[in-house]
Structure 1
Amino acid sequence: MASRPFSLLVLLFSAIIVSDAAGSVGINYGRVANNLPSPDKVVQLLKSQGINKVKLYDTDATVLTALANSGISVVVALPNELLAATAADQSAADNWVQSNITKFYPQTKIEAIAVGNEVFVDPKNTTNYLVPAMKNIHASLVKSKLDSAIKISSPIAFSALQVSYPSSAGSFKQELVEPVIKPMLDFLKQTGSYLMVNAYPFFAYAANSDQISLDYALFKNNPGVVDSGNGLKYQSLFEAQIDAVFAALSAIQYDDVKMVVTETGWPSMGDENEIGAGEENAAAYNGNLVRKVLNGSGTPLRPQDPINVYLFALFNENQKSGPTSERNYGLFYPNEQKVYNIPLTLEELQGGQSTPVNTSTSQAPPMAGEVSKTQVGQTWCVANGKAGEEKLQAALDYACGQGEADCKAIQPGATCYNPNTLEAHASYAFNSYYQKNTRAAGTCEFGGAAYVVSQPPAYGNCEFPTGN
């Protein structure tokens, strides 16, 4: 989900993972989209960036095969919809492990299995199945002699906490503690695994921008917040959230459980009410988080423990439901170009800035709590050059024909005829269709041949309309 010097982004990620003193940075590879590169190309992208840790949301055979012999460590997932069957029947767990783990390991470096995802907030109420499913999957790994190589855990949402402020008062929701939290933590300790937590300071900031400093949410210089309970000073909301989880673990006597942040990120685009969404803030959050992780510093409560995170996410995913932000967490666009620049080398980490891509340096960044026009209102639709000529031509024909896009400007001799390329003409037509339909969801897809950007396209001297 972005556009930068690829090789360097990876150097950053690999350096993090190799060093014992520093934490590690991986990335979530979600695929709820119809315009993404093939898994083989994605693996090439990951390797070109030096990213050597990736987390999936399933065990897709094509993806796992593409990752084979790549040197990339993989966290796979057993989806929530399989929890009930896996919990009820050991043979179902055995079959799943045989078909989805042993079939690919060790060529594919599967290092962990996420059993379910944010199960406690699953509307289908699968909480009771979680620990039994984890135990059955583990028993299957034991049979295959893989239990020491592959860990089992389950990502929990930050909302599993009843209290998160101040951090020292962190506690889990009481209704979860005895039935599932403690049994899960016991299992993690017995198997030498770790707690997976999804933490998004963006949500807390967007909901409380009148009380939370944007600089505090983005790891920027700020006065800090002193915890009234233990006197520790916090310089970032992320660290405060992580320590709230550690405090919650301590409150129920599970201080020795390790933690990995399996999802965290910041959207590069959002709706009007999603305060703080935007490229500049996304670049600042992810860039500064990576800087902190690479520097090897822990949290105020556990300063000696490196932080391990998986950024969310690799690509913008155009078929995700919900607000605009849900489709715009990626570091890369579907055409493998970077959405914004974040530090990519240790030298950059020591003094570089995290910036949006193609943003004019003369444009002043928004003040804390303010959302700039390029962050929410102004978006454009452009062609995905990797979709192939046949698909682009068919989509262009539709946009200018049935779609009734205004294509006069790309006719021979007209203002936007040059550059005379299929991608440039398709971009103009797709954007015309998108703006004409008031940038409604689904109007910049064209079967995977297009995607939304938040910076104006640059094709010669042609100016793309905004529809505003």
Structure 2
Amino acid sequence: MASLTISHFISFLSILAFTEAGLIGVNYGRVANNLPQPPQVVALLKAQGINRVKIYDTDSSVLTALANSDISVVVAMPNELLSSAAADQSFTDNWVQANISKYYPSTQIQAISVGNEVFVDPNNVTKYLVPAMTNVHASLLKYNLSSIKISSAIALSALQNSYPSSAGSFKPELVEPVIKPMLSLLRKTGSYLMVNVYPFFAYEANADVISLDYALFKENPGVVDSGNNLKYMSLLEAQIDAVFAAMSALQYNDMKMVVTETGWPSLGDEDETGAGAANAASYNGNLVNRVLTGGGTPLRPNDTLDVYLFALFNENQKPGPTSEGNYGLFYPNQQKVYNVDFTLQGVNNNRSVPINGSKTQVPATGDVTPSSVGQTWCVANENAGEEKLQAGLDYACGEGGADCRPIQEGATCYDPDTVAAHASYAFNSYYQKKGRGAGTCDFGGAAYVVTQAPKFGTCALPTGY
């Protein structure tokens, strides 16, 4: 079978809509200061054939850019608004008018996630969730927007038990106050449960007992559920079925589910077992193949898998461990972090793609070259503009103490003679000298970390000093 690139895979969805294949979307997170402007992002989505996107708010610039794009959108009401939404329907009336009606139907808003992972929010807004969802739904009905679904994305940590899948159950303290009322509302409104599911977290915490191949959808012996004798070939499907089992235990076995977040980081701290570009390429590529080949989970074989990958971009301002900012399919300059192979055979497409302009090349195969695994580099973000790049370059070569001798005129790395190329060399020198520490590859949004070796003309960037 011929190899297919990421630019083709979702273009198949119009054909696959008539089969048992599931749907793939992507989360467009924006916790960063170096991302392209929304119109550029929409152009990227369209160029890649991505026609389903989920955002974490109702940002006007994003929703305006998505208008008339044929991209369906899931938006969110942020957690900090839930108490106001729960207290007064006039608040949700105004919110729906300002954030939904204003853009719909030109922007194809498909659903609203009322809050995100509310149960783990340190501000403890759980008690407001179902009343807020109820009021948002009433406001949608009031303004003739009943086709827009309401739900709330929950974390897998809402489960008390997730292994074996057949023993799946919700945390007892959540069941009566929020889970049952929420599922009842979803059933009543014809909606579905949104769940964020990350096999990476389970693997990272239990790498001694969970097979990496099992976590990455690779060939493996499988795991038999002792409770129902079903055999699982992937950790994600086992986790999904644990949620289905938990819903069935509460007599909601007719509920649909959408995986609103899942992904694998291409970079992590030393203690984040499994983080890396090769594993991220395997997880996302194999997951896409799994979704597009159709069929459901062992417990729900007739249901399709609908999944939103996390995330579109690496996000340089996300707090927490290194992995948090490195789930992106793309760097801020819109080039791929790695190439996801979307053939059913999993055949690598051995090509390269440009980064930072046509003179910089990184490997773009479904796997990462062994020599680059675990290594990182710091390169210029051309979207930051030449003025910011020059300021960063001046700092790195001056006060920053970077070794900029190779980019002086006549030296080995002077060509290509561009601000972006010179800045990348200087930024990387500074980053490597600082031990690749957190925050040492930013330069005010003018730089970001890559996991595949960049090259400028004949000059390769060093990996250490």
TM range, smaller chain: over 0.9
RMSD: 2.0
Q: Is the 8 A contact 1:80 1:126 kept in 2?
A: yes
Other-structure match for 2:329? 331
Other-structure match for 2:79? 80
What is the deviation of 1:340?
1.0
Residues 331-365 of structure 1, C-alpha deviation per residue, up to 9 Å, x if partnerless?
00000001111124xxx22442488974599x998
1:44-443 equivalences under 5 Å are: 44-147=43-146, 149-344=147-342, 348-353=343-348, 358-359=362-363, 374-376=372-374, 378-443=375-440
SS of match in other structure, 1:349: coil
Residues 130-172 of structure 1, C-alpha deviation per residue, up to 9 Å, x if partnerless?
000000111111110102x100000000010100111011100
Distance 1:250 1:99 in 2: 37
Other-structure match for 1:8? 8
Distance 1:236 1:355 in 2: 27
Q: Is the 8 A contact 2:28 2:311 kept in 1?
A: yes
SS of match in other structure, 1:116: strand
Q: Is the 8 A contact 2:6 2:48 kept in 1?
A: yes
**Counterpart residue type for residue 425 of structure 2:** Y
**Counterpart residue type for residue 349 of structure 1:** L
Q: Is the 8 A contact 2:53 2:71 kept in 1?
A: yes
What is the deviation of 1:6?
5.8
Distance 2:218 2:16 in 1: 24
Q: Is the 8 A contact 1:33 1:317 kept in 2?
A: yes
Number of positions where the alignment pairs a residue of Structure 1 with one of Structure 2 = 452
SS of match in other structure, 1:184: helix
Other-structure match for 1:368? none
Q: TM-score, normalised by structure 1?
A: 0.93
Residues 169-205 of structure 1, C-alpha deviation per residue, up to 9 Å, x if partnerless?
1100011000000000000000000000000000000
SS of match in other structure, 2:203: helix
Q: Is the 8 A contact 2:295 2:302 kept in 1?
A: yes
**Counterpart residue type for residue 227 of structure 1:** D
Distance 2:258 2:89 in 1: 28
**Counterpart residue type for residue 209 of structure 1:** A
Other-structure match for 2:357? none
Runs (5+) with no aligned partner, structure 2: 353-361
What is the deviation of 1:55?
0.2
Distance 1:181 1:16 in 2: 36
| Alignment CA distance shift 1:190-1:355 (3 Å) | farther
SS of match in other structure, 2:245: helix
Other-structure match for 2:36? 37
SS of match in other structure, 2:150: strand
Distance 2:450 2:152 in 1: 33
Distance 1:80 1:278 in 2: 31
**Counterpart residue type for residue 339 of structure 2:** N
Q: Is the 8 A contact 2:86 2:129 kept in 1?
A: yes
**Structure 1, 73-82 or 411-420: larger mean CA deviation:** 411-420
SS of match in other structure, 1:447: coil
What is the deviation of 1:447?
2.0
What is the deviation of 1:379?
1.2
Runs (5+) with no aligned partner, structure 1: 366-371
Residues 220-242 of structure 1, C-alpha deviation per residue, up to 9 Å, x if partnerless?
00000000000000000000000
Q: Work out whether 1:461 is the aligned partner of 2:458.
A: yes
**Counterpart residue type for residue 277 of structure 1:** A
What is the deviation of 1:17?
6.7
| Alignment CA distance shift 1:364-1:430 (3 Å) | closer
Residues 367-425 of structure 1, C-alpha deviation per residue, up to 9 Å, x if partnerless?
xxxxx78444x211001123222222222122222323221110011121122222111
Other-structure match for 2:443? 446
Q: Is the 8 A contact 1:25 1:310 kept in 2?
A: yes
Q: Is the 8 A contact 1:26 1:55 kept in 2?
A: yes
**Counterpart residue type for residue 230 of structure 2:** L
Q: TM-score, normalised by structure 2?
A: 0.93
Distance 1:316 1:437 in 2: 21
Q: Is the 8 A contact 1:194 1:258 kept in 2?
A: yes
SS of match in other structure, 2:53: strand
**Counterpart residue type for residue 115 of structure 2:** G
What is the deviation of 1:65?
0.1
**Counterpart residue type for residue 344 of structure 2:** L
**Counterpart residue type for residue 352 of structure 1:** V
| Alignment CA distance shift 1:5-1:418 (3 Å) | farther
**Counterpart residue type for residue 80 of structure 2:** E
Distance 1:214 1:352 in 2: 20
**Structure 1, 415-424 or 119-128: larger mean CA deviation:** 415-424
| Alignment CA distance shift 1:360-1:65 (3 Å) | closer
Distance 2:263 2:378 in 1: 24
**Counterpart residue type for residue 378 of structure 2:** C
Distance 2:274 2:310 in 1: 17
Distance 2:264 2:233 in 1: 18
Q: Is the 8 A contact 2:133 2:150 kept in 1?
A: yes
| Alignment CA distance shift 1:356-1:37 (3 Å) | same
**Structure 1, 34-43 or 391-400: larger mean CA deviation:** 391-400
What is the deviation of 1:461?
2.5
| Alignment CA distance shift 1:244-1:171 (3 Å) | same
Larger RCO (CA within 8 A; separation ≥ 6): 1
Q: What percentage of residue pairs aligned between the two structures are identical? A: 71
SS of match in other structure, 1:340: coil
SS of match in other structure, 1:256: coil
| Alignment CA distance shift 1:27-1:16 (3 Å) | farther
Distance 2:372 2:15 in 1: 32
Other-structure match for 1:369? none
Q: Is the 8 A contact 1:54 1:73 kept in 2?
A: yes
